[in-house]
Amino acid sequence: MTAGRVLIVDDEPDIRSTVKEILEDEGYFVILAANADEARAARERERPDAILLDIWMPGTDGIALLREWAAAGVLAMSPVVMMSGHGTVETAVEATRLGAWDFIEKPISLAKLLLTLERAREASRLRHENEGLRQRLALPLDPVGTSRIMAALRAQLQKLAQHDASVLIRGEPGTGKETLARWLHAHGPRRSGPFVAVAAGSIPRDHLVAALFGAEDASGVQPGLLEQANGGTLFLDEVADLDAELQQRLFSVLQQRALVRGGGRGPAPLDLRVIAASARDLDAQVKAGAFREELYYLLNVLPLSVPPLRERAEDVPELLNLYADFFAVRDRLHGRRFTPAAQKRLCAYAWPGNVRELRNLVQRLLVLGGAADVEPAEVESALGASAAAPNPTGIDFDLPLREAREQFERAYLLHQLQRAGGSVGKLAKAAGMERTHLYRKLRDLGVDVRSAASED
């Protein structure tokens, strides 16, 4: 992904010029604005990929401008990162409620600035892809395939949809767990209510509590994602990403069917169905003490297992045709068809990335291919290109981003811990982390400080 265009809105010339130099050194094209009027004009003219917006400005301040842009739908095209040297928790919560991607305190950390911009733009790109998916071609929510496995899955879904109890969907990454959750919602008694999807790993930890449970102060109520799902369905993707404190709070809220917002004086009623999903072995996580047993049993009332694609190879041809038609329409590409020999080769493939990998492969073949028919040689080349890509890092690039990041973080912390001679204090300094956060991270990643320090 190219660095892109960034609009900096700040009334302090030194801040604008400093951040401009930093971002230009990283390859960004930077647009400057000193106030709200200049920012409006620059945004209309330049259509930036991201916006850095100061909170405290004369005239129209950053929060007011953010509220204006949120109402106009600007944030869907240009994610906004707020900046302030005098920020408060209440200000950060208000900015997040209005749709700001993140909140950066001054003096600005270069590493945090670049990482925040990268994440904001990646989230925006994914949002655009999802919007395009829904708007340009409505893929069926029904599980695709005529295999016995999929017939059994459809029958189980029909039963689960008639009830209102919690569902726990388990399956490998890329198997389409959110699609099944949407199907259950669309065919259940809450179909007329909202469907709210929450990916805990995609929300900055500092904002996650307010994002989930909301906030309340003298200026009013900011409902969180749980309240936004009232009357409908809450989908918790990869629920194991929640730390122990949030697991306990979520259990309490779901059990009592009421929540107390941050700063709130009393409980707010909650009426929703919860569908959770995980690619991890939650039974093992419960036994290891990494996932709360009471929350596990509350979520696992109606279990649903999603089979990996390799176990239903006879469904591959139907999936290939589905995505070939989809990308041809959505991306305005020439239609292509997989020959019987190409289909046979792909039916024999193991699909470690499941349906997500198949979808990406089809898109690549439509974008790069020329002839109307996809032949076995082209399939072999596409599969080989993915497998042969150099990877000196040791990270499994077929994993979803969240799991690949965990793999890197564990290797990094083990390396630094050994360099520090087992000293957590030295490790905290080397990693630039507070000790409390570091201990939590080590525990979440399964790093045993004593044994890790003795490894060669």
171 in the same domain as 262: yes
In a domain, 247, yes or no: yes
Q: Write out pLDDT tens, residues 217-258.
A: 766 677 888 988 888 999 999 998 888 889 999 999 999 998
Of 100, 134, 168, which marks where a domain is finished? 134
- Residue 81 CA to residue 62 CA, distance in Å, equals 10
Instruction: For residue 448, give the amino acid letter.
Output: D
248 in the same domain as 111: no
Of 360, 388, 416, which marks where a domain is finished? 388
Q: Write out pLDDT tens, residues 12-49.
A: 999 999 999 999 988 899 999 999 999 998 887 777 88
- Residue 330 CA to residue 221 CA, distance in Å, equals 39
Which CA distances in Å does 178 have to 182, 201, 272, 286?
6, 15, 17, 23
Q: What is the CA radius of gyration of the chain?
A: 24
- Residue 31 CA to residue 10 CA, distance in Å, equals 11
Q: What is the pLDDT of residue 104?
A: 87
> Is the distance from CB of 345 to CB of 380 less than 8 angstroms?
yes
Q: Tell me, what CATH number does 411's domain have?
A: 1.10.10
Task: Select from 245, 321, 241 the least CA-distant residue to 278.
Answer: 241
In a domain, 357, yes or no: yes
Q: Tell me, what CATH number does 370's domain have?
A: 1.10.8.60
Residues of the chain with pLDDT under 70: 1-3, 87-88, 124-125, 127-141, 204-206, 218-220, 385-403, 421, 437, 446-456
125 in the same domain as 169: no
In a domain, 77, yes or no: yes
Q: What is the pLDDT of residue 455?
A: 41
- Residue 72 CA to residue 104 CA, distance in Å, equals 23
**Helix, strand, coil percentages in the chain from 3-state DSSP, rounded to 5:** 55, 15, 35
289 in the same domain as 158: yes
- Residue 232 CA to residue 204 CA, distance in Å, equals 25
Instruction: For residue 94, give the amino acid letter.
Output: E
> Is the distance from CB of 16 to CB of 107 less than 8 angstroms?
no
User: Using CB atoms within 10 A of its CB, is residue 396 exposed (0-12), middle (13-18) or buried (19+)?
Assistant: exposed
Task: Select from 76, 187, 182, 172 the least CA-distant residue to 139.
Answer: 182
Q: Tell me, what CATH number does 238's domain have?
A: 3.40.50.300
Strands (E) located in 67-125: 80-84, 102-105
158 in the same domain as 208: yes
> Is the distance from CB of 412 to CB of 423 less than 8 angstroms?
no
Length of the chain: 456
Q: What is the pLDDT of residue 368?
A: 85
All residues at 6 or more sequence positions from 194 whose CB lies less than 8 Å from its CB, including other chains: 228, 229, 230, 231, 232, 233
In a domain, 444, yes or no: yes
Which CA distances in Å does 50 have to 3, 81, 82, 289?
10, 8, 11, 40
In a domain, 147, yes or no: no
> Is the distance from CB of 178 to CB of 197 less than 8 angstroms?
yes
50 in the same domain as 95: yes
Q: Is 76 helix (H, G, I), strand (E, B) or coil?
A: helix
Q: What is the pLDDT of residue 128?
A: 57
Q: How many Cβ atoms are within 10 Å of 254's Cβ, its own excluded? A: 19
212 in the same domain as 300: yes
In a domain, 145, yes or no: no
325 in the same domain as 237: no
286 in the same domain as 158: yes
In a domain, 185, yes or no: yes
> Is the distance from CB of 195 to CB of 185 less than 8 angstroms?
yes
Q: What is the pLDDT of residue 1?
A: 44
Question: What are the tokens at 245?
Answer: 């404190």
Strand (E) or helix (H) holding 217:
strand 215-217
Phi and psi torsions of 234, nearest 5°:
-105, 120
User: Checking DSSP bridges between strand 80-84 and strand 337-338, what pairing results, if any?
Assistant: unpaired
233 in the same domain as 174: yes
Q: What is the pLDDT of residue 389?
A: 44
Q: What is the pLDDT of residue 136?
A: 44
For residue 335, what are the domain limits? 310-388
Q: How many domains is the chain partitioned into structurally?
A: 4
Place of tokens 């100061």: 54
> Is the distance from CB of 277 to CB of 187 less than 8 angstroms?
no
Question: What are the tokens at 397?
Answer: 């690039």
Q: Tell me, what CATH number does 119's domain have?
A: 3.40.50.2300
183 in the same domain as 209: yes
Beta bridge partners of 338: 374
Of 77, 104, 134, which marks where a domain is finished? 134
All residues at 6 or more sequence positions from 88 whose CB lies less than 8 Å from its CB, including other chains: none
207 in the same domain as 110: no
In a domain, 395, yes or no: no
